[in-house]
Amino acid sequence: MATNLLILGAIVAFFVWSYRGAEISLSQLFSRDSFEQIGIYMQKLFPPDFSAAVIREALKGTVETFAISFMGTLMAVMIALSIVFFAAKNLIFSGLLYEMEPKQGWKRASRMVPYVAAKSVLNVLRTIPEMVWALIFVFLVGLGPFPGVLALGVHTGGVLGKLFGEVLEDVDTQPIESLQATGANRLQILLYGILPQVLPQFISYTLYRWEVNIRVAAVLGFVGAGGLGQRIHIAISLFFEQQLLTLILAIYILVTIVDYVSAYLRRKVL
Amino acid sequence: MNDLQQQYRLEEVRKVFGRHQIALDGIDLGIQKGERVALIGPSGAGKTTLFRLLNCTLRPTSGKIWINGEDVETLHGKQLRQARRKIGTVYQQHNLIPRLKVIHNVLAGQLGRWSTLRSLASLAKPHDEALVHKALDQVGIPERLFDRTDELSGGQQQRVAIARVMVQDPDVVLADEPVSSVDPALASTIVRLLIDISRDTGKTLVVSLHSVDLALAYFPRVIGIRNGTTAFDLSPENISDAMLEELYAGSGRENSDTEAMSEPANSIAYPSIS
Amino acid sequence: MNLPTPSRIRQSPKSLFPYLFAGLFLLAFFDSWQRAGIDPKIFFEARGQRALGKFLTGMFPPDLSPAFLSLMFRPALETIQISILGTIIAVMIGFPLGLLGTNTMAVAGILNEAELQGAPLRRGLRYAVYFIARGLLSLFRSIPEFVWAFMFVRAVGLGPFPGVLAIGLAYGGMLGKVYSEIFEGVNYRPLEALQSLGANKLQIFFYGWFPQALPNFVSYTLYRWECAVRASAILGLVGAGGLGQQIEISMRMFNFNEVLTILIILFLMVAAVDYLSAKIRAML
């Protein structure tokens, strides 16, 4: 316990020290000047620009953002499902399904390989931030909403893969045990015993990630991946602050709607 | 009329939850200072609701309550808190904070007297260790001062709750089913403890009990509550078996261990704003 | 032989919902497919293949030269600093607003029953405060931190400050909402007991509410900090300091091996933060 505190204390001290040399000087940061500047900027946002052209762009951006998040999340589910069954310990090499198998030997080792591979892939997918994926995909396939879908799909696939994996590993073993006792093979056990248990939770997690993704989709456009983000980038760069407010309002409404729909669906599922 | 000697005076008190749930339906009651009273009755009869009115957790829907001559309706804010400080409550589920150390839970009795700042400081460094030690000593568990409260057994936690009331030093001690989740041997010990406190310090004591035997054995005045009204209000020798039967008729028998968890007051405890 | 005729089995009322849902889903699917410009063919065309090849070969091996690594030290440190400051501000915003936005703290429940009965004005006031708190939190977290960051960059200039503010606001909104949920989920009986012995709201909060909520509170805050580290790295893309700025530069110059290095650094940072939070959580 004492050593833990000591380590913690050392780390804290290091960070407090690090602030002295950095560009972040606290007094400068929170000076009255800064807040005045923010105030001035905020004033420039009002009133929002409700001209027909802007509203049209906002709507277009909104549905495009929705489309990106929708397809991206679907793609993520497909990716996650295709990998996760290899990334769950109890499905691949340990636990009830493998009790009767030899514990050592190359057979078990050979089963661990896909497990490690799957887990690593998921790790890579979800550690690289969506934005960076977006940059990569813009480079690979060009501008537009498609790289946004790919970026979301790939990153969220990794996230969902991890979450789904945890659900699979925590599954109730009793149905598995009874099915196994009747002589069902592993695939049948998967379909009849495991899937029914995990499906609601899978759907719930997917819906939750959709809520996160709609916000991400809205900003991927900054790097050229379409949607509201692209239009916001333009508005800010060209100093069209009132247009910016309209677009922000669009995001707010879209996000709120998606939050509600997601919460509603989640209630229905669980 | 308000007899200034009376600890409590209730007149036609009704408490309704929501629009239809009648917990108390016209209670008239007077309790003198220093009296020891037992409440008995079936689950759902309204005993817990009555306690919540007596300790100013709830206000009556209609009717009047005087505490020590003061009309409860006139009490607000600081005065309300001061009135509460003078009433100590022991609950069936002891209602202590599990993660806090025993000493903090007991010292919480002083919160009504301490300023907010002092209470916060005490969490860092306990303010009156000697006082707590004395209280815990009186209830029989002096060595548990610095343990985490959830490490104690049920019976020990109940004693900590009593110690909290002692530190609070109120004028009235209310106990809502204090021994229902405690084993029978310990139950009479705890009831006797409460009575001793009342006798030694002159505090008024109102206890509700599941066990009719305990009530009849230890209390000079027993009130039977049924369906939100007073069924009888007598001394034990005047209570017949027939009266007891009628009191518990239709319920799951007397001495049932199924608690007043089923009593509507608890589930409606946190009513949504209508 | 006469078989008994089966009595009419009452069918459970058919719900329209699944069909409605399926219909909407398919509609959204086909529309979105088109709108999002989905075109898997690209990867199989020459152009896409070339780009992929260039990218993959460019990434390995990662640039581990001491020159580059020492260049990355400052931005990496800055990223962590931004994440810490940002999270601290987020807690400073989220905690009070979350508290005020807790139903059972402000208006409902046993703690407010006696106070608010027959006092409609006070109840209305409490409700107003409650809704304003919730509204602010909702506003803060509905606007992505990226947008906040970009706005603040326009307002106060480049550098880490807009990043700190952006995370503070956006994460403050998220923290606040979850804090409310944590606060609402405590056991209320001990709180009732504290109230009945004459404690005021603050005392009830510190003696009863907070001790119960503490583990979840710390756990979620640490989780948010982890997210903040990643977010801080990204915010650099709009000039808000940290590694993000460097990623942009490297991508623009097609130095993919540098990009890989930065990603590895990011990965290590997140892992370190992960480890630290696990240790802190264990201490509780």
Note the pLDDT tens digit of each residue in A62-99.
999 999 999 999 999 999 999 988 888 777 777 667 76
Answer whether B39 touches C (CB < 8 Å): no
State the pLDDT at residue C133: 95
Contact C144 A38 (CB under 8 A): no
Answer whether B271 touches C (CB < 8 Å): yes
Answer whether B47 touches C (CB < 8 Å): no
Percent of chain A with pLDDT over 90: 26
Chain C: give the shortest CA distance to residue B91, in Å.
Answer: 8
- What mean pLDDT do residues C212-238 have? 89
DSSP class of residue C13?
P
Neighbours of B251 (CB within 10 A): 15
Task: Choose the weakest-confidence range: A11-25, A91-105, A155-169, C114-128.
Answer: A11-25
Contact C147 A40 (CB under 8 A): no
A83: its two tokens = 């990998």
Cβ atoms of C232 and B116 closer than 8 Å: no
Task: Choose the weakest-confidence range: B158-172, B255-269, C93-107.
Answer: B255-269
State the pLDDT at residue C125: 87
| Cα–Cα separations (whole angstroms), residue C40 to A146, A150, C23, C49 | 9, 10, 25, 12
B37: its two tokens = 């009273």
Answer whether A20 touches C (CB < 8 Å): no
- What mean pLDDT do residues C44-58 have? 81
Strands across the sheet with B6-17, in order?
A: B21-32, B6-17, B62-67, B70-71
A34: its two tokens = 């800064």
Confidence of residue C92 (pLDDT cuts 50, 70, 90): very high
Confidence of residue B264 (pLDDT cuts 50, 70, 90): very low
Contact C152 A131 (CB under 8 A): no
Chain A: give the shortest CA distance to residue C38, in Å.
Answer: 5
Q: What is the DSSP string of B128-158?
A: -HHHHHHHHHHHT-GGGTTSBGGGS-HHHHH
Contact C270 A127 (CB under 8 A): yes
Contact C37 A144 (CB under 8 A): yes
Burial of A259 (C-beta count, 10 Å sphere; 0-12/13-18/19+): middle
Element (H, E) at A197: helix A195-220
**Cis (ω within 30 of 0) for the bond into A47?**
yes
C219: its two tokens = 């756990």
What is the end-to-end Cα distance of chain C in Å, rounded? 75
Residue C275: CA count within 13 A, CB half-sphere: 10
Task: Choose the weakest-confidence range: A215-219, B83-87, C39-43, C149-153.
Answer: C39-43
Task: Indicate if the pLDDT at residue B268 is higher than 50.
Answer: no
State the pLDDT at residue A95: 67
Beta bridge partners of A232: none
Phi and psi angles of residue C11, each rounded to the nearest 5 degrees, phi first? -80, 140
State the pLDDT at residue C135: 93
Question: Which residues of chain C does B100 touch, with a Cβ-Cβ cutoff of 8 Å?
Answer: 207, 211
pLDDT in tens, B164-174: 999 999 999 99
pLDDT in tens, A92-121: 777 667 766 666 777 777 778 888 889 889
For residue C196, the chain B residue with the least C-alpha distance is: B84
Whole-number average pLDDT of chain B: 84
Chain C: give the shortest CA distance to residue B53, in Å.
Answer: 9
Neighbours of C266 (CB within 10 A): 24
For residue C40, the chain A residue with the least C-alpha distance is: A146
Chain A: give the shortest CA distance to residue C127, in Å.
Answer: 21
Cβ atoms of C266 and C256 closer than 8 Å: no
- What mean pLDDT do residues A186-191 have? 79
DSSP class of residue C43?
G
Contact A236 C154 (CB under 8 A): yes
State the pLDDT at residue B87: 92
Answer whether B15 touches C (CB < 8 Å): no
Q: Which of B48, B92, B97 best probes binding to C when mutated, by most C CB atoms within 10 angstroms?
A: B97
State the pLDDT at residue A125: 92
- What mean pLDDT do residues B59-76 have? 88
Task: Indicate if the pLDDT at residue C44 is higher than 80.
Answer: no
Report the neighbours of C using a cutoff of 3 or more CB pairs below 8 angstroms.
Answer: A, B
Confidence of residue C2 (pLDDT cuts 50, 70, 90): low
Q: What is the DSSP string of A27-86?
A: HHHT-HHHHHHHHHHHHHHPSP---HHHHHHHHHHHHHHHHHHHHHHHHHHHHHHHHHTT
Confidence of residue C5 (pLDDT cuts 50, 70, 90): low
Contact C39 A141 (CB under 8 A): yes
pLDDT in tens, B71-122: 888 888 888 888 999 999 998 887 898 888 899 999 988 888 888 888 888 8
Question: Which residues of chain B does C188 touch, with a Cβ-Cβ cutoff of 8 Å?
Answer: 269-270
Question: Which residues of chain B does C212 touch, with a Cβ-Cβ cutoff of 8 Å?
Answer: 97-99
Confidence of residue B272 (pLDDT cuts 50, 70, 90): very low
CB < 8 Å from C in window 174-203 of A: none
Answer whether B206 touches C (CB < 8 Å): no
Answer whether B16 touches C (CB < 8 Å): no
What is the end-to-end Cα distance of chain B in Å, rounded? 34
- The maximal CA–CA distance of chain B, rounded, in angstroms, is 56
- CA-CA distance, B112 to A186, in Å (whole number)? 64
Answer whether B108 touches C (CB < 8 Å): yes
State the pLDDT at residue A2: 64
Cβ atoms of C170 and C148 closer than 8 Å: yes
| Cα–Cα separations (whole angstroms), residue A95 to A116, A177, C2, C221 | 16, 11, 54, 34
State the pLDDT at residue A73: 95
Question: Which residues of chain A does C232 touch, with a Cβ-Cβ cutoff of 8 Å?
Answer: none
Answer whether A217 touches C (CB < 8 Å): no
B274 closest CA partner among C208, C28, C120 = C120
State the pLDDT at residue A115: 87
pLDDT in tens, A7-32: 777 777 776 766 665 555 566 666 77
Chain C: give the shortest CA distance to residue B245, in Å.
Answer: 32
State the pLDDT at residue B263: 38
Contact C142 A255 (CB under 8 A): yes
C247 closest CA partner among C227, C232, C226 = C232
DSSP class of residue B74?
G
Whole-number average pLDDT of chain A: 84
Q: Please, do chains A and C touch (3+ CB pairs < 8 Å)?
A: yes
Residues in chain C: 284
- CA-CA distance, A68 to A77, in Å (whole number)? 14
For residue B105, the chain C residue with the least C-alpha distance is: C207
Chain A: give the shortest CA distance to residue C263, in Å.
Answer: 7
Task: Indicate if the pLDDT at residue C108 is higher than 80.
Answer: no
B94: its two tokens = 């002891």
Confidence of residue B261 (pLDDT cuts 50, 70, 90): very low
Task: Indicate if the pLDDT at residue B217 is higher than 80.
Answer: yes
Task: Indicate if the pLDDT at residue A38 is higher than 90.
Answer: no
Element (H, E) at C49: helix C46-59
Confidence of residue A182 (pLDDT cuts 50, 70, 90): confident
Report the neighbours of A using a cutoff of 3 or more CB pairs below 8 angstroms.
Answer: C
Question: Which residues of chain A does C17 touch, with a Cβ-Cβ cutoff of 8 Å?
Answer: 268
Minimum-distance CB partner of A149 among C36, C279, C280: C36
State the pLDDT at residue C154: 84
Q: Which of B14, B94, B95, B118 best probes binding to C when mutated, by most C CB atoms within 10 angstroms?
A: B95
Task: Indicate if the pLDDT at residue C273 is higher than 80.
Answer: yes
Minimum-distance CB partner of C142 among A11, A22, A252: A252
State the pLDDT at residue B255: 44
Pairing type for strands B36-40 and B204-208 reads parallel
Minimum-distance CB partner of A129 among C234, C238, C259: C234
State the pLDDT at residue B254: 45
Answer whether B74 touches C (CB < 8 Å): no
Neighbours of A169 (CB within 10 A): 14
- CA-CA distance, B169 to B171, in Å (whole number)? 7
B120 closest CA partner among B101, B104, B144, B132 = B104
Contact A71 C33 (CB under 8 A): yes
- What mean pLDDT do residues B227-248 have? 88
Place of tokens 């707010």: A252
Neighbours of B202 (CB within 10 A): 10
State the pLDDT at residue B218: 92
CB < 8 Å from C in window 142-161 of A: 142, 144-146, 148-149
Pairing type for strands B6-17 and B21-32 reads antiparallel
Percent of chain C with pLDDT over 90: 19
State the pLDDT at residue A225: 80
* Cβ contacts of B228 within 8 Å, gap of 6 or more: B15, B22, B23, B24, B25, B26, B27, B45, B46, B49
For residue C194, the chain B residue with the least C-alpha distance is: B108
Contact C263 A146 (CB under 8 A): no
State the pLDDT at residue A22: 53
Q: What angle do CA A190, A195, A198 make, to 5 degrees?
A: 135
Confidence of residue C81 (pLDDT cuts 50, 70, 90): confident
Q: What angle do CA A30, A32, A35 make, to 5 degrees?
A: 75
- The maximal CA–CA distance of chain C, rounded, in angstroms, is 96
Confidence of residue A156 (pLDDT cuts 50, 70, 90): very high
- What mean pLDDT do residues C246-263 have? 86
For residue A32, the chain C residue with the least C-alpha distance is: C156
Task: Indicate if the pLDDT at residue B260 is higher than 60.
Answer: no
Minimum-distance CB partner of C144 among A71, A136, A219: A219
Task: Choose the weakest-confidence range: A179-183, A232-236, A248-252, B85-89.
Answer: A179-183
* Cβ contacts of A117 within 8 Å, gap of 6 or more: A86
State the pLDDT at residue A29: 63
Q: What angle do CA A221, A226, A231 make, to 5 degrees?
A: 65
Contact A140 C51 (CB under 8 A): yes
Chain C: give the shortest CA distance to residue A6, in Å.
Answer: 12
State the pLDDT at residue A63: 92
